[in-house]
Structure 1
């Protein structure tokens, strides 16, 4: 029982969409999956469809891996400016001083 290459690519694309998504399945917008299904159902040229599915899957996989590597090797990525300053100061062994608050205010 062998599956066609297009079926394999379609399933691997759906798997990558699931892995890239930040939200649980019940909250995700179904529009993307509907568009992918429409493209697969309406395409008549199998070679073009196969290439499109492969390139889309590879793009999603590369984007996911890039985000993981950014998180791993650049720990201050995605922090606010204040958090970034504190993390940078801690990296060189310093603490950020408390800001002066005027007692008269």
Structure 2
């Protein structure tokens, strides 16, 4: 793989890390990016086993992309996914045109 292709792979992998992260950039763990950079450096230097490092980078990128797309599709086609039990019951009742009754909260003295 040429250095241009490895650079493109590195950037696409960093993009997937950014899109997969739920934390702001300043609070992310820098070890992940350092490990990716180490793999890219080993691929660019050409130390013997560079094809395995490239394969790891490609598989990691593809896995992260598939995971992100899977989560988006779950959210799109199953909107109650990830809700608590109470929220799920309310959403299901609203779907069929009903409202859940207001629960009585008595004095707790």
Q: Shared fold (TM-score greater than 0.5)?
A: yes
Please point out which of 97, 105, 108 is paired with 1:93: 97
Unaligned runs of 5+ in 1: none
2:53 maps to 49
Deviates most, 23-32 or 3-12:
3-12
Distance, in Å, in 2 between the alignment partners of 1:72 and 1:93 is 21
Do 2:9 and 2:57's aligned partners in 1 also have CA atoms closer than 8 Å? yes
Q: What is the RMSD computed on CA atoms of the aligned residues?
A: 2.1
- TM-score when normalising by structure 1: 0.86
**Over residues 64-89 of structure 1, what are the superposed CA-to-partner deviations in whole Å (9 max), with x where a residue is unaligned?**
00111111111111111111100001
* Relative contact order, higher structure (CA 8 A, sep 6+): 1
In terms of fraction of residues, the more helix-rich structure is 2
